[in-house]
Chains A and B, each alone.
Chain A
């Protein structure tokens, strides 16, 4: 459109970007090689520990026997599991996902055995090896999301699997006919796949709200492959780890997968939660 000074300004669109150069046009072998290298650099790598790797290799269909997979996406969801699940019992690291993208803190070249930065960690307990917890607090780029879900869920036996996802989301992304200021924040909303039959611990996420990121990739995979899965998304107005937001997740305790894992509020849990929130507080010396 023309501005006052007669110049033409391109209007932005919510749907489409400016038409980029079509990939493949005028590409030579060097361009294709660079593209392949970049794709390889952005690959998502899933690494299991020795025990799991053995189980994986010896199974007939190269999958792990897991009945419950709990995924925490975001600092508050991860903090909830750290304080109320991982704080008791003998949890050990079972594996990790490492990946690199434009928002990674480390370059691939500085990593040791695993390419990229270990960004999502899996935990399991000796006394209950069929339960797996995953904490993910890093940014996973849009071209890596499908791969993330495909690699994680593709390596697990689907027959008896149930997936629970806890995820943080800014309340600014919540659409409602009411004013957001009139809604008590933080609050939980749920989404479930067709084959998930349990009662939800909170109300369902209303239209036209949508979910993106790892929760969307995992739920899509589960919906397509008929795996029972539920997402509890916590809408919060605090960006960092916050005890009020973490405690909002306690409403999910009525969910059978979490009820078995989460201990009632103990002194240790509260202590761990306090430490986590203190570690994340930005200390300001403006007035000292």
Chain B
């Protein structure tokens, strides 16, 4: 499943893993693009699986003529050993019948590589927010018990709210409360499965609508940076945008707001 670039397989033990969920607005994927681009992270391997729809393109983070023709696949792992930071970028949706298999694949990869913490960046439909979620910050978090044992109440101290549960049967009192993350892709089930498997996992998600979701990616990344101090900043955001994002900016300027069709290495449209 994980195939290293070259012959040497990197050691991920005790590293932090950051990965996106393919979710509304592709915000998690855009945020991961931002992280990889800002830290200039090298690709160390591929997740070669039949669970994701195949897709290839040229390097979206290329900064030179030479690197602009390096092939990228649908799921790649980037790693900075000196920061003990691994990032999995997922660039295409899961094959419809293989979503569960994919979650299990990633879960067992996390377990076998003994990452110290895993962080899932995700998003949820803003139009499905309930009254409590309509005001204040659009950011929310979830954490497994194992993650809480490691980081304590750090996320709360950073003024982040835990994702509220919703009644299983709205309007009926004393009904069971459940997690509901509409538009979140694999987020909810992955979180539940990580809880059952005792994996330290935190989910950071943002409520958003589809459109130009670069601002949401920055919001998510800025919070993550506030927590983990990944990129040096001096009051201004120094997160570097991938070079392919300029096409998105041009397309948004020239298209009417109602049109949602947008190009990005982080999305695959059919």
Contact = CB atoms under 8 A, between A and B. Distances in A.
Interface in A186-243: 191-194, 200, 204-213, 215-217, 219-221, 223-225
A224 B52 CA distance: 15
Given A15-B25, A207-B243, A223 B57 contact: no
B244 A207 contact: yes
A216 B54 contact: yes
Nearest to B250: A177
B258 interface: no
Interface stretch (A17-25, A49-57, A115-123, A267-275): A17-25
Nearest to A223: B71
A219 B71 contact: yes
B262 A14 contact: yes
Nearest to B260: A14
Interface stretch (A86-94, A131-139, A141-149, A244-252): A141-149
Interface string B166-198: 000000000000000011110001000000000
A23 B3 contact: no
Nearest to A205: B58
A169 to B, nearest CB: 13
B183 A16 contact: yes
Given A11-B209, A191-B71, A208-B60, A145 B54 contact: yes
A17 B250 CA distance: 27
A10 to B, nearest CB: 9
A1 interface: yes
B25 A216 contact: no
Interface in A1-50: 1, 11, 13-17, 19-20, 22-24, 35, 39
B248 interface: yes
Interface residues of A, number: 48
Contacts of B260: 14
B68 interface: yes
Interface residues of B, number: 60
A208 B71 contact: no
A259 interface: no
Given A16-B24, A207-B59, A216-B54, A22 B100 contact: yes
A216 B265 CA distance: 14
Contacts of B270: 142, 212
Contacts of B114: none
Contacts, number: 151
B56 A223 contact: yes
Given A14-B262, A15-B185, A142-B95, A212 B54 contact: yes
The prevalent SS among residues of A at the interface is loop
B237 interface: no
B116 interface: no
B54 A223 contact: no
B20 to A, nearest CB: 10
B1 to A, nearest CB: 11
Given A143-B95, A192-B69, A207 B56 contact: no
A200 B71 CA distance: 14
B94 to A, nearest CB: 10
Given A220-B73, A220-B74, A16 B23 contact: yes
A208 B247 contact: yes
B23 A194 contact: no
Given A15-B93, A16-B185, A223-B73, A143 B98 contact: yes
Contacts of A206: 58, 68
Contact of B96 (A1, A20, A176): A20
B250 A208 contact: no
Interface string B58-80: 11101000001111011000000
B232 interface: no
Contacts of A221: 48
B122 to A, nearest CB: 10
Which of A145, A150, A193, A206 has the most CB atoms of chain B within a 10 A radius of its CB? Answer: A206
B46 A212 contact: no
A204 B57 contact: no
B106 interface: no
B39 interface: no
Contact of A15 (B23, B55, B127): B23
Interface of A: 1, 11, 13-17, 19-20, 22-24, 35, 39, 142-143, 145-147, 149-150, 175-177, 191-194, 200, 204-213, 215-217, 219-221, 223-225
User: Which 10 A/B pairs are nearest by Cβ-Cβ distance?
Assistant: A207-B244, A146-B50, A210-B57, A175-B263, A216-B54, A217-B54, A208-B244, A208-B263, A204-B69, A1-B127
Given A16-B24, A208-B60, A224-B73, 5 more contacts: A175-B251, A194-B71, A208-B57, A208-B247, A210-B56
20 contacts: A11-B127, A15-B22, A15-B267, A23-B97, A23-B100, A146-B49, A150-B50, A204-B69, A207-B244, A207-B265, A208-B57, A209-B57, A209-B58, A211-B55, A211-B57, A220-B54, A220-B55, A223-B46, A223-B71, A224-B73
